[in-house]
Amino acid sequence: MTELMQFFIDGAWRDPLASRSHPVVNPATEQPMYSVALGSRGDVDVAVAAAKRAFETHSMGHAERVALLERLIEAYQARTKDLAAAVSDEMGAPIVFAEHFQVKSGLNNLIATLNALKAFKFEERMGSALVLREAVGVVGMITPWNWPLNQITAKVAPALAAGCAMILKPSELTPSSASIFAEIIDQAGVPRGLFNLVNGLGPEVGTALSEHGDVDMISFTGSTKAGIDVAQRAARTVKRVGQELGGKSPNIILESPKFEDAVSGGARYLFNNAGQSCIAPSRMLVPISLMNDAAAIAKRVADDIRVGDPRSTDTQMGPVVSETQWNKIQDFINSGIDEGASLVTGGPGRPAGINRGYYVRPTVFAEVANDMTIAREEIFGPVLAIIGYRDTDEAIRIANDTPYGLGGYVSAGTLDEALDVARRIRAGTVNVNGAVFDRAAPFGGYKQSGNGREWGKIGLEEFLEFKAIAGAA
């Protein structure tokens, strides 16, 4: 991989104003792969000025935006292998998972936005008024490392569909997938200045975007702590803020003939992406009478996971993204042991036979109380906490006893039973009986999991202002 020492601004690759860089480390080998340039407030100023010019001068009609997204989808698909390799090397996702889930999630976002745009009405009459939906303007986008392409496309696609201009700051841990995406943008013929990419650190580039007076909206995905900081800085210029933040999703499993499948499926889903998903079902709630059964099932799943080299097609779980993240997960595992949870399998340290790389043992705790650290805080690693409940009311109380509200999962014998529980969970997205996400539906959270929604028609509306013209009838 070549050094990433330029930013994509105003339709061209440009040198940063100052020469500063950051090494990008392969989490499987702990070795630096290349360096990425770190931007400054001055670089943000240049990118914002380009975006503002583009927003004021480029005006695409509905049909033109549809055609643009169609070209973007075609160009994205042509780079599938390159994108998968970048994600695998930078954040440790197994190569098969990277291609079929990480990269595919980005494609699904593009397709869902295209479908929403085709049917979208930018004007409608309400009484005697004509209501217009117009682009919010210049958007600053700050995205994380765990699902880099999913989060980039969930913001860029609807922003383009709405007619916005944008500046993207991806994570400094996963910059090459974002760089390839910038090449895809160029290949698709996005008008110059509508999309700009500035790499850098959150306290510098992210802060500059949040505070900038010519940025009309910030779309942020990351931790709740960082999201609070972004919102506070954005408030000084009263810009719109969309946030997708942390989660501690409950997975309520009711007693039914499907119990074993529900437990094994929930455990496997948690261990996907090495547990590094904000929507991960990290709290598994089961009837107390079935605690031992659930622990044994989850243990089999964890022990069967093939942990190893992300570039091997046999690998099911790679390393976590960084040494910092590895150390945090170790602290959480040790806290579970110290606070009295029952360690079923896994535990501290690397998996057997692995002596380098940021690999974590797939870990299962049983007999977890909901006031334990591993049940309260977002671990962002392959650590499952199994919590017992006495009846459905208690399960729902435990599920909602969290500052987060991003996701929830319910497994029951019938759809009606599952829906009854799902309606009582305080979360933005609830999956029942193993259903997959539908990109046409909105995604986002309650409480400290954020505000605003992504995906589909409602995600497109996030990037629009409403204008009422009274007396237009």
Q: Return the pLDDT at 59.
A: 86
Same domain, 196 and 169: yes
Q: Quick one: pLDDT band at residue 173, thresholds 50, 70, 90?
A: very high
Mean pLDDT computed over 88-95: 97
Mean pLDDT computed over 65-70: 98
**Three-state DSSP class for residue 180:** helix
Same domain, 161 and 255: no
Edge to edge, the sheet with strand 407-411 lists 342-345, 363-366, 383-389, 283-287, 250-253, 407-411, 429-432
The yes-or-no verdict on residue 209 having pLDDT over 70 is: yes
The yes-or-no verdict on residue 65 having pLDDT over 60 is: yes
Number of domains in the chain: 2
Q: What is the CATH number of the domain that holds 366?
A: 3.40.309.10
Look at residue 147 and tell me if it is in a domain: yes
- The dihedral sign for the CA sequence 324, 90, 21, 204: negative
Q: Return the pLDDT at 1.
A: 53
Same domain, 402 and 306: yes
Q: Return the pLDDT at 473.
A: 67
Task: For 270-293, write each residue's pLDDT tens digit.
Answer: 999 999 999 999 999 999 999 999
Instruction: Give the closest residue to 145 by CA, choosing from 181, 179, 106, 171.
Output: 171
∠ CA(80), CA(82), CA(85), 5° rounding? 105
∠ CA(144), CA(404), CA(307), 5° rounding? 50
Same domain, 145 and 256: no
- The dihedral sign for the CA sequence 447, 450, 452, 456: negative
Q: Return the pLDDT at 94.
A: 98
- 7, 167 contact by CB (below 8 A): no
Same domain, 425 and 457: no
Q: Which domain holds residue 302?
A: 250-439
Look at residue 369 and tell me if it is in a domain: yes
∠ CA(144), CA(27), CA(218), 5° rounding? 10
Share of the chain above pLDDT 90, in %: 98
**Three-state DSSP class for residue 37:** strand
Q: Quick one: pLDDT band at residue 260, thresholds 50, 70, 90?
A: very high
**Three-state DSSP class for residue 155:** helix
Q: What is the average pLDDT value for the chain, to the nearest integer?
A: 97
Same domain, 38 and 97: yes
Same domain, 261 and 328: yes
Strands (E), 90-225: 123-126, 129-135, 138-142, 165-169, 195-197, 217-221
Look up residue 157 and give its two tokens: 């696609």
Task: For 313-332, write each residue's pLDDT tens digit.
Answer: 999 999 999 999 999 999 99
Q: Return the pLDDT at 472.
A: 82
Same domain, 157 and 175: yes
Look at residue 137 and tell me if it is in a domain: yes
Catalytic site residues? 244, 278
DSSP letter at 443 equals B
Look at residue 230 and tell me if it is in a domain: yes
Look at residue 362 and tell me if it is in a domain: yes
Share of the chain above pLDDT 70, in %: 100
Look up residue 257 and give its two tokens: 């003939």
Look at residue 355 and tell me if it is in a domain: yes
Q: Quick one: pLDDT band at residue 2, thresholds 50, 70, 90?
A: confident
Same domain, 238 and 267: no
What distance lies between CA 271 and its chain's CA centroid?
16
Length of the chain: 473
Look at residue 1 and tell me if it is in a domain: no
Look at residue 2 and tell me if it is in a domain: no
Same domain, 53 and 197: yes
Instruction: Give the closest residue to 408 by CA, choosing from 299, 273, 269.
Output: 269
Rounded to 5 degrees, what are φ and ψ at 109? Answer: -65, -45
Q: What is the CATH number of the domain that holds 461?
A: 3.40.605.10
Same domain, 128 and 236: yes
Task: For 213-234, write each residue's pLDDT tens digit.
Answer: 999 999 999 999 999 999 999 9
Same domain, 336 and 225: no
